[in-house]
Amino acid sequence: MKNRILGLISLAALLLAGSTAVFAHHGAAAYDTGKPTTLKGTVTEFKFMNPHTEIFLDVADASGKTKNWLAELGGVTGLSRVGWTPHMLKPGDQITVTGNRSKNSSNALRLQKVVLPNGKEFNFERGEDYTN
């Protein structure tokens, strides 16, 4: 009986410890929300998936050297509600993205706005963007 109780307590502690990574994943803490970055580039890959849709694009820096960037959006359900589809972007499409750059200086953005090849704009607002 004592071993069973200890086992259940250990299992509960393990589940709680593992769940912090799930909750830590959400939010804007990893991004510089005070300074938006705008990039023009060429789509190399578009992953319309959960939990976050990803757009990979090649962007030329000031010296002309091409760097691959990751632009992260919300999940499939929210994007579908505003007209996104799995085939709306394809490699070679020229797009403009605006978002918050990762604080760790990696080539990653948390998207705020996308301008598609046809000129259509999508703005993204998330609850954690607002402070009281």
Q: What domains can you pick out in the chain, each with its CATH number? A: 31-125 (2.40.50.1010)
pLDDT in tens, 30-39: 888 888 999 9
Query: What confidence tens digit (pLDDT) does each residue in 36-66 have?
Result: 999 999 999 999 999 999 999 999 988 999 9
pLDDT for res 24:
44
**pLDDT for 20 beyond 50:** no
CA within 13 Å, CB half, 74: 19
Q: What is the per-residue pLDDT across 100-117, written as a single tens digit (0 to 9) for each?
A: 999 998 999 999 999 998
Cβ-Cβ contacts under 8 Å for 93 (sequence gap 6 or more): 42, 43, 116, 117
